[in-house]
């Protein structure tokens, strides 16, 4: 081979890979990097990211106080979730509403910094099974979970006030075969007397991650507890080794996270002060 | 004709835990071909020598390509005709080179008591010696009349052909078992490669990177646009080298905190001829990114 050139740091890195690399990083830091003068900054750096899915029942029975309260709480909640992600996680939000039809609030998960709540209206029946199918379709690397920076399994939070009007079991079976669902953190909130906690526990996989709100005050408390706690746990990097240094599987990590979520939710719910506000079902 | 650069930066998380950088990277250019290669050592407990394994993966690949190019005329004549078979042979040669380097290193540097101390005897017995050195590997090669790439494990190959669009041309090996992370240390590693080959398009620039780069982006569009911007900067290569160190360090520090390696080769005369087109693509990409963001923020309910 004539005129062959093996250039500077290139072969240094080839022959002394880790040394060249570490010294590059050290030099870069000691030179007090000027990150502002960077022609590559047009494509921003993304932190480790997490998607929170809210599945919200917007059927006719949610009309009135329940829907009004839910809209208000969700508007208030956004800044609180923003704070969860501030340190080192980019939180994205996707909202799927279900009544007679299922509909996404936005066409893709939105970074929490850009997210604005669109006030929801209630109407129609409770197509929960259809919502499960739609969620399963979108929880894919080819769809809503296509961000390269996605580092954590999603948080999935279901809120409903009634019994499903379609075959929810068929939808749930489809969802249960989705790996993102299997490894995701799942929690559910039943609103009012008609919500069936057994159905919700089927969705989350355990009763510990199901809570119930019977009044506007409780609804606000429960939504905040679940959303904030699950985002915090969901974005936590848990070690893949146990106390003895033995490596444990990813499935064990996700199971540990789901268990921790159940414990924390129950502790927080137990510590809530009873408020004397009017139950949703008064006069219903 | 060809030029290039390569860079590895240590991940912020590795700095915190005192781990050495597990990545290696290199490029090599000659009159007839150019190769860019990166490797990402697995870094977990049982792969305790993976920083050495990634260095060997990079060296093994360059040596394999060198060997196939020993008779340049014959290789250039045969490769377009028999590229599938020759690609398999290149992959086998890379694995053979790597296994030989690992065996030699292990013979000269037996596992120390300190290395063993992290395992019970029973645990340690179960680990295949090659696994100590486990690494991924991804390489892009530009010849005078064709372009190809090989990959085992994570990592991304991006190509800018003469139309100035950044694409990921690797054809992924769907037959590799889905639940096994492909690694150069697997006993059936030679069957786990993915590859691509084309002689239909002239390449302006080829890039390979370890997973730490890809995962520092919020979208694949941004990741591809990033490569177009880099290509637009390659006309001032010396000035660009410091820019890329800074940028990769920033991406590791504020992104997923992983090691990041990026290696690139490019066709210098074709780049100079195409620089107007590349700059136009950079501007178009910016506009398309703004349009995508506006569309994503449109409420549907």
In the predicted structure, residue B55 carries a pLDDT above the cut 70: yes
The confidence band for B63, taking pLDDT boundaries of 50, 70 and 90, is very high
CA distance B252 to B121: 36
Coil, strand or helix at B292: helix
Q: CA-CA distances (angstroms) from residue B70 to A14, B23, B90? A: 20, 28, 13
Q: CA-CA distances (angstroms) from residue B277 to B20, B164, B207, B228, B284? A: 41, 7, 19, 11, 10
Q: Which token pair is A76? A: 């208030």
> Looking at this predicted complex, what is its ipTM?
0.86
Share of chain B above pLDDT 90, in %: 85
Q: Residue A37, CB half-sphere, CA atoms under 13 Å: how many?
A: 7
Higher-scoring residue by pLDDT: A87, A178: A178
Q: What is the mean pLDDT of chain B?
A: 93
Compute chain B's Rg from CA coordinates: 20
CA distance B57 to B189: 12
| B25 touching A (Cβ < 8 Å) | yes
| B296 touching A (Cβ < 8 Å) | yes
In the predicted structure, residue A279 carries a pLDDT above the cut 80: no
**How many contiguous H segments (helices) and E segments (strands) does chain B have?**
10, 10
In the predicted structure, residue B215 carries a pLDDT above the cut 90: yes
CB contact under 8 A, A14 and B226: no
Q: CA-CA distances (angstroms) from residue A267 to A16, A79, A190, A229, A264? A: 53, 23, 18, 11, 5
User: Is residue B54 a contact partner of residue B135, using CB atoms and an 8 Å limit?
Assistant: yes
Strand partners, A97: A56, A103
Q: Give me the helices (H) in chain B, please.
A: 12-17, 50-68, 72-78, 83-108, 113-116, 121-126, 211-214, 220-233, 237-254, 268-296
The confidence band for A84, taking pLDDT boundaries of 50, 70 and 90, is confident
Q: What is the mean pLDDT of residues A237-266?
A: 72
Q: Which residue of A has its CA nearest to B226?
A: A43
**Distance of alpha carbon A10 from the chain centroid:** 42
Angle of CA points A212, A171, A199, to nearest 5°: 25
In this complex, the residue of B233, B245, B263 whose CB is nearest that of residue A39 is B233
Dihedrals φ, ψ of A172, to 5°?
-65, -40
**Nearest CA-CA distance, residue A44 and chain B, Å:** 7
Q: What is the mean pLDDT of chain A?
A: 82
CA distance B146 to B157: 16
Structure pTM? 0.86
CA distance B226 to B216: 11
The confidence band for A20, taking pLDDT boundaries of 50, 70 and 90, is very low
Strand-by-strand arrangement of the B203-209 sheet: B2-9, B260-267, B203-209, B156-161, B166-167
Least confident of A107-111, A226-230, B150-154, B259-263: A226-230
Enumerate residues 6+ apart whose C-beta is below 8 A from B183.
B42, B134, B135, B136, B152, B153, B189, B192
Mind listing the pLDDT tens digit for each residue in B271-293?
999 999 999 999 999 999 999 99
In the predicted structure, residue A251 carries a pLDDT above the cut 80: no
Enumerate residues 6+ apart whose C-beta is below 8 A from B76.
B32, B143, B144, B145
Indicate the CATH number of A3-270 among 3.30.70.100, 3.40.50.150, 3.40.50.1390, 3.40.50.410.
Answer: 3.40.50.410
| B133 touching A (Cβ < 8 Å) | no
- The domains located in chain B, with CATH, are 2-300 (3.60.40.10)
Largest CA distance in chain A: 91
List the 180-199 stretch of B: residues with Cβ below 8 A of A: none
> How is B251-279 classified by DSSP, letter by letter?
HHHHTT---EEEEEEEEHHHHHHHHHHHH
User: Is residue B69 a contact partner of residue B75, using CB atoms and an 8 Å limit?
Assistant: yes
pLDDT at A281: 64
In this complex, the residue of A33, A106, A147 whose CB is nearest that of residue B219 is A147
Chain A residue numbers with beta carbons less than 8 Å from the beta carbon of B254 are: 45, 47
pLDDT at A18: 28
Residue whose C-alpha is closest to residue A224's, from A85, A79, A89, A109 = A79
pLDDT at B301: 78
Residue whose C-alpha is closest to residue B134's, from B56, B212, B26 = B56
pLDDT at A30: 39
User: Is residue B166 a contact partner of residue B229, using CB atoms and an 8 Å limit?
Assistant: no
């Amino acid at each position: 081979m004539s005129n062959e050139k093996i250039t500077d740091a290139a072969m240094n890195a080839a022959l002394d890979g880790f040394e060249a690399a570490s010294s590059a990083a050290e030099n870069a830091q000691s030179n007090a990097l000027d990150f502002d003068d960077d022609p590559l900054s047009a494509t921003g750096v993304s932190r480790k990211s997490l998607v929170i899915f809210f599945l919200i029942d917007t059927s006719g029975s949610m009309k009135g106080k329940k829907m009004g309260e839910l809209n208000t709480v969700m508007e208030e909640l956004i800044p609180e979730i923003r704070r969860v992600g501030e340190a080192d996680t980019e939180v994205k939000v996707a909202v799927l509403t279900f009544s007679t039809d299922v509909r996404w609030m936005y066409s893709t998960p939105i970074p929490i910094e850009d997210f604005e709540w669109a006030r929801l209206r209630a109407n129609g029946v409770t197509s929960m099974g259809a919502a499960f199918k739609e969620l399963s379709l979108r929880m894919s690397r080819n769809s809503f979970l296509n961000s390269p920076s996605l580092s954590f399994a999603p948080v999935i939070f279901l809120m409903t006030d009634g019994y499903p009007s379609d075959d929810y079991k068929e939808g749930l079976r489809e969802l249960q075969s989705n790996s993102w669902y299997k490894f995701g953190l799942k929690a559910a909130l039943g609103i009012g007397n008609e919500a069936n906690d057994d159905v919700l526990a089927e969705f989350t996989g355990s009763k510990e991650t199901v809570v119930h709100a019977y009044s506007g005050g409780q609804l606000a408390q429960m939504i905040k507890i679940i959303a904030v706690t699950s985002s915090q746990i969901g974005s936590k990097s848990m070690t893949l080794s146990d106390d003895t240094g033995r490596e444990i599987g990813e499935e064990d990590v996700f199971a540990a996270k789901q268990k921790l979520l159940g414990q924390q939710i129950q502790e927080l719910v137990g510590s809530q002060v009873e408020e004397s506000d009017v139950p949703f079902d008064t006069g219903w | 004709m060809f030029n290039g650069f390569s860079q590895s930066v240590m991940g912020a998380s590795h700095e915190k835990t005192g781990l050495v950088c597990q990545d290696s990277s290199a490029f090599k250019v000659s009159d007839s071909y150019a190769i860019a290669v990166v490797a990402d050592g697995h870094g977990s407990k049982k792969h305790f020598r993976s920083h050495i394994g990634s260095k060997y993966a990079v060296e093994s690949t360059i040596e394999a390509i060198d060997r196939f190019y020993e008779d340049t005329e014959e290789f250039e004549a045969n490769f377009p005709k028999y590229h599938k078979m020759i690609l398999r042979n290149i992959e086998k040669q890379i694995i053979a080179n790597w296994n030989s380097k690992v065996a030699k290193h292990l013979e000269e540097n037996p596992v120390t008591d300190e290395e063993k101390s992290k395992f019970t005897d029973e645990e340690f017995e179960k680990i295949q010696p090659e696994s100590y050195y486990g690494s991924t590997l991804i390489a892009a090669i530009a010849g005078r009349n064709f372009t190809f790439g090989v990959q085992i494990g994570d990592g991304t190959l991006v190509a800018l052909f003469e139309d100035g669009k950044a694409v990921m041309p690797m054809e992924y090996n769907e037959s590799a078992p889905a639940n096994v992370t492909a690694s150069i240390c697997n006993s059936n590693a030679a069957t786990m490669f993915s590859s691509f080959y084309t002689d239909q398009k002239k390449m302006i620039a080829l890039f390979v990177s370890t997973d730490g780069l890809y995962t520092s982006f919020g979208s694949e569009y941004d990741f591809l646009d990033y490569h177009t911007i880099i290509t637009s900067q390659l006309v001032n290569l010396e000035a660009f080298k410091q820019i890329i160190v800074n940028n990769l360090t920033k991406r590791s520090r504020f992104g997923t905190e992983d090691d990041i390696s990026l290696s690139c080769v490019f066709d210098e005369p074709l780049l100079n001829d195409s620089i107007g087109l590349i700059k136009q693509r950079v501007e178009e990409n910016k506009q398309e990114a703004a349009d995508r963001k506006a569309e994503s923020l449109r409420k549907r309910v």
